[in-house]
Structure 1
Amino acid sequence: MEHAQAITLNAAITLTAMSRRTLWRRVTLGHIATVGHSAASKGRTMLALRDVVTAATVELDAEEIALVVRADEGDAQAQADAGAMFFNKAQYKSALFWLQKAVVQGNADAMQWLGTCYASGAGVERDDNLAVMWIAKAASLGHVIARAQMGRVLPARSL
C-alpha cells in the first residue's frame, strides 16, 4: 500500500521539526526520497515515510507512525489523537498542527485539547479566553471532559 509508505511534506515537517526549505534540501541531496503521487496524495508532494521517520525529532513506535499516517490522510479523529500524542510528548508545535486540522473538521476531542493548550500555554501564548472558548465548543458537542471542565468554570445554578 503506497499511502502507508509515504507522508506529505507538511506532516514530515511536524515529525522532523525541519523547515520546508531544509526538508527540500534533504530531498535534493537524496537523504529523503520522494514517492510518486497516488489518489490518496491529492496532488501533494509525498516523501518516503522510512526516511522521514529516521529524521524525526521524537521516537515513534509502529502504532504511533500508523496514527500519523491516518492523520495525514485526513482522518479527523486520528488528527486529534496525533495532536494529543504530540502534546504528551511535549512536541507542542506538532500537537498544534494536528489539533488545528481536526478542529477545522469539527472534532470535539481536538477542541478540548486545543483549549488545554491555551489554558496551559503549551506551544502558544497562554490565553484564558481562547481556552474557555475551545473547551466550551467541545462541551457543546457533548465532550465529557470538556463538560466537566466547564462545570468547574461555570458551576450549575440552582433553580
Structure 2
Amino acid sequence: MFSLCYLPTAGRLTITMIQARNLKAMDITGASDPYVKVSLMCEGRRLKKRKTSTKRNTLNPVYNEAIVFDVLPENIEQISLLIAVMDYDRVGHNEVIGVCRVGNDADSLGREHWSEMLSYPRKPVAHWHPLVEYQETTSSSQGGSCNSLKAPPSP
C-alpha cells in the first residue's frame, strides 16, 4: 500500500510507502528482509531511484516513509513509477519479491491510481497494489521530452 501526491506548483511527486502484507518468504527462516525500491521511469529508461529502509525478518512490513521526486508539470504525463519490493541479503544478490507500476502506461489499477492523483492535486491518494513477478523488458526509446525533468538553473 502506498499513496501518491503531486504538487504541480512545486513540481513535486511524493510517494509514501505505507505497508506491505503477505509477502513471499525469501529466506530459509521463512521470512524476508524487505525494502522498497522506487524508480522514476520514462519510456523504459530509469531516470532516478530511491529506496526505503530495510525491515528485518517480516512478511508484513510497515514503512510510513515518503520518497520525493522533482517532476515538472509538463513532464508528469510521460513518466511512470516502477515499485519493486526487494529482499535484502547480506550474502549474494538482493532478490525481487515482486513489482508494480503506476503511470499512464501502467495496467488498470496503476493507471487508475495515477489518474486519481492527477485529478486531486495536493491530496495524498492511497491504494493497495498487488505485486507481480518481475520480467525485465527492453524497449527502444522514441525521443521524448523526459531529458529535462528538473528546471534548468536560472542565470
**For this structure pair, what is the TM-score category when the shorter chain's length is used for normalisation?**
under 0.3
More RCO (CA 8 Å, sep 6+): 2
TM-score, normalised to structure 1's length?
A: 0.23
